[in-house]
Amino acid sequence: MSLLILALALFNQNADAQLAEGYRVLDSDKRYIESFKRPELVIDHVNYEGYEIYGPAGLGEYLTKMNIPHINEASLKDANLGPDHPTAEEIESQIKVLVAKCSSIMQVENIGKSVKGRNLLFVKVSDNPNIDETEPEFKYISSMHGDEITGRDLMMRLLNDICDNYGKDARITDLVNNTEIYIMPSMNPDGSNSRQRWNASGVDLNRDFPDFSTSDNQNSPVGRAAETQAIMKWEAGRQIALSVNFHGGAEVVNYVWDTLPDAFPFESMVIDLSLRYSKLVPYIYNSNEFQQGITNGYSWYEVNGGMQDWSYYWHNDLQFTIELSNTKWASFSSMPTYWSANRPALLEFIAAVHQGTGFRFDDKATEGSVELVEYLSNASRGHFNFVGGEFYKVLEPGKYKMIVSTKKGVEKTIYVEVPAQLSLTSDNYVQL
């Protein structure tokens, strides 16, 4: 192993820091994996056969030189998939046509540009899309890895489903009327157009976010990829309470933490929410690799700089990573099958944001902090910041005390309850 470390060190003296090559390392007993845990390399999708590894140009040459069995990721891509997925430009055009068709419940939000100048688009879905209402906020985001395409298609189908069935389907109508839903089909349009994992600058976007467990413990967008910066700036102005980012290369619901072995403070709840999705998708729930189709992120493999942990640690946005398909670039012809299998879970998970409670001020400029206390045990469940005159948190059913402190020195204590029976139409907020 020392020879491998030496070879990688020599390789990295002259290597560009950008990601340029990807391989599936056939290392079933994981004898090499520790030596690949280096800042310039990315490990992903660990399974019984081995794992993926991504790095600068020259990585493959050194894997060969060290006699480490590997397969070039490019060779795993089926060149005969039939009609291919739409381009990023076609997706943007489809979004604009759809939103124009359903403008009463949809609005396009352009939050920035990709490296190559493509628009980074969210679709806001609400019964009042032009108004910032005080309602539970939910987010779906897909394809931050450009070659993991299934989620992008499912998000487009979900938007069309909502558009076609609002006012006809009672559940969809209640979701839209009582939730602010944000859907970004493609976080990495440059990568998808090039059918590559990284962005146009060779950055793995799911290793580019601030990581509270490392020296990168500053929630600053400075020096990060254009796509990462756009998400960070947008999220800072919202109060997203529950979200999912969609990937491909496995079939599993992944929950926090990714970067630490520590148990998540609300571990039983995130396991329950993970199962709420997986149980509705038989091919995920019946996994031969993951029990009941779910996994703790760190237990699977460590991810530093991931969007999932960043979302919760810095913004109280409880995010899950859902791997939708073992094949990253699943055929376009297979998309209706994935859609049919995932549609019930996609709607159920949006509804899950209503399992929570919070408060609101008349003055939307109000900012401050809140301590959450479990009412029966009087145990603190954490301290959180809030902006925009409102706070909302997804919680396990039960009674809680919230000790609210504003930056102007106002302090209030309120008592709230999350009922066991979820309701889409109840007002989840206490007026302060």
Q: Is 393 exposed, middle or buried (0-12, 13-18, 19+ CB in 10 A)?
A: buried
Where would I find the beta strands (DSSP E) of 42-127?
Answer: 42-44, 51-55, 70-72, 106-113, 119-125
Give the tokens for residue 144. Answer: 């931050």
Neighbours of 201 (CB within 10 A): 14
Task: Report, as residue numbers or ranges, the catalytic residues.
Answer: 323
User: Is residue 411 within a helix (H) or strand (E), and if so which, with residue range?
Assistant: strand 411-418
117 phi-psi bin (left φ>0, alpha ψ -120 to 50, beta other)? left
DSSP-assigned states of every residue in 95-111: HHHHHHHTTTTEEEEEE
In SS3 terms, 166-224 reads as: CCCCHHHHHHHHHCEEEEECCCCHHHHHHCCCCCCCCCCHHHCCCCCCCCCCCCCCCCC
Burial 285-296 (b: 16+ CB within 10 A, else e): bebeebebbbbb
SS3 290: coil
Cis peptide before 257 (omega within 30 of 0): yes
The Cα-based distances of 233 to 34, 56, 124, 318 in angstroms read: 34, 28, 16, 17
Neighbours of 194 (CB within 10 A): 16
Dist CA 330 CA 342 (whole Å): 15
Give the tokens for residue 135. Answer: 């309602």
Contacts of 17 (CB under 8 A, 6+ apart): 40, 56, 202
Dist CA 77 CA 325 (whole Å): 14
Nearest C-alpha neighbor of 246 from the set 149, 343, 340: 149
Q: Is 310 exposed, middle or buried (0-12, 13-18, 19+ CB in 10 A)?
A: buried
Polymer length of the chain: 432
Neighbours of 282 (CB within 10 A): 11
Contact 388, 316 (CB under 8 A): no
